[in-house]
C-alpha cells in the first residue's frame, strides 16, 4: 500500500493552505481508498501541541489512515543554478512518501544547486518544487508538472500564473524562472534564464 505525504507550512502557529491540502487528501482517498472516509488534517493536527513560534514544515504521512505527523524547523535551501535533466518520472497529482526517484534526479545535478526536470522535451519541475517562467508579460507554469502542488493550484486560481507547455528549445523566450512550493513563498526564489545550465 503506497504512503502519501502532505508538506504543510506552519508559520507562527498558523497552518497555510489547509483547505487545499485537504482537497488533495480527499482526491487521494477517492482514487486509492474509495471505501474509506478521508482523514481530516485539521482533526489529526488537533491532537498535537504544535509549535506556535517560527517556521516549520509539517510532514503529514498517511495511507488509508494517518500514520505520522512531524514538525520540522524549516530552513530554505539557496538556489542559484539549475541543470536541465531528462526524466521519466510519472506525472502525479499527489506526493508519495517515497521520494527515491526525485532524490536520484537531485543527486545527478553535477555541481548545480538543483535540477530542472525535462520530460518529452517539456519543462516540468525542479526536484522538490514547481516552477513558472516569465515571458515579459505573464508567468507561465508547465501544463504537465510532475506533481501538482497546492501552492501552484492557489496561484492558478488567483490568476497569478497561467498553464502552458514550455519546451526546452523555447527557453530563450523567457527571462526569469521562479521556484515555489508549499514551503517556499511566491517571489522568494527567482533566477535569471542564464542560471539554467543546458
Domains of the chain: 4-73 (3.30.470.10), 82-197 (3.20.10.10)
- Which one, of 125, 124, 134, 128, lies nearest residue 103 by Cα? 128
| pLDDT for the residue 119 | 98
For 114-167, the pLDDT digits (tens) are 999 999 999 999 999 999 999 999 999 999 999 999 999 999 999 999 999 999
Q: Would strands 130-134 and 122-126 be described as parallel, antiparallel, or unpaired? A: unpaired
The pLDDT tens digits along the chain (198 residues) read 899 999 999 999 999 999 999 999 999 999 999 999 999 999 999 999 999 999 999 999 999 999 999 999 999 999 999 999 999 999 999 999 999 999 999 999 999 999 999 999 999 999 999 999 999 999 999 999 999 999 999 999 999 999 999 999 999 999 999 999 999 999 999 999 999 998
CA distances from 11 to 15, 55, 101, 135, 193 (A): 7, 5, 29, 32, 31
For the entire predicted model, the pTM comes to 0.95
Side-chain half-sphere exposure of 111, counting CA atoms within 13 A: 3
For 110-119, the pLDDT digits (tens) are 999 999 999 9
Query: In what order do the strands lie in the sheet containing 114-119?
Result: 122-126, 114-119, 82-86, 196-197
CA distance 154 to 171: 25
| pLDDT for the residue 93 | 95
Burial class (CB in 10 A: 0-12, 13-18, 19+), 37: exposed
Amino acid at each position: 500500500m503506497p504512503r502519501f505525504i502532505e508538506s504543510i507550512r506552519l508559520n507562527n502557529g498558523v497552518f497555510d493552505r489547509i483547505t487545499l491540502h485537504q482537497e488533495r487528501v480527499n482526491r487521494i482517498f477517492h482514487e486509492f481508498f474509495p471505501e474509506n472516509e478521508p482523514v481530516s488534517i485539521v482533526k489529526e493536527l488537533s491532537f498535537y501541541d504544535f509549535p506556535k513560534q517560527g517556521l516549520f514544515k509539517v510532514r503529514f504521512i498517511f495511507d488509508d489512515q494517518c500514520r505520522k505527523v512531524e514538525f520540522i524547523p524549516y530552513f530554505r535551501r539557496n538556489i542559484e543554478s539549475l541543470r536541465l535533466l531528462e526524466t521519466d518520472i510519472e506525472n502525479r497529482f499527489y506526493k508519495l512518501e517515497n521520494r527515491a526517484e526525485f532524490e536520484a534526479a537531485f543527486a545527478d545535478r553535477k555541481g548545480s544547486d538543483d535540477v530542472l526536470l525535462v520530460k518529452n522535451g517539456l519543462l516540468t519541475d525542479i526536484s522538490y518544487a514547481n516552477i513558472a517562467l516569465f515571458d515579459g508579460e505573464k508567468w507561465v507554469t508547465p501544463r504537465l508538472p510532475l506533481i501538482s502542488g497546492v501552492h501552484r493550484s492557489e496561484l492558478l486560481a488567483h490568476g497569478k500564473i497561467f498553464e502552458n507547455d514550455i519546451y526546452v528549445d523555447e527557453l530563450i523566450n523567457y527571462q526569469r524562472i521562479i521556484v515555489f512550493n508549499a514551503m517556499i513563498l511566491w517571489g522568494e526564489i527567482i533566477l535569471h534564464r542564464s542560471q539554467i545550465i543546458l
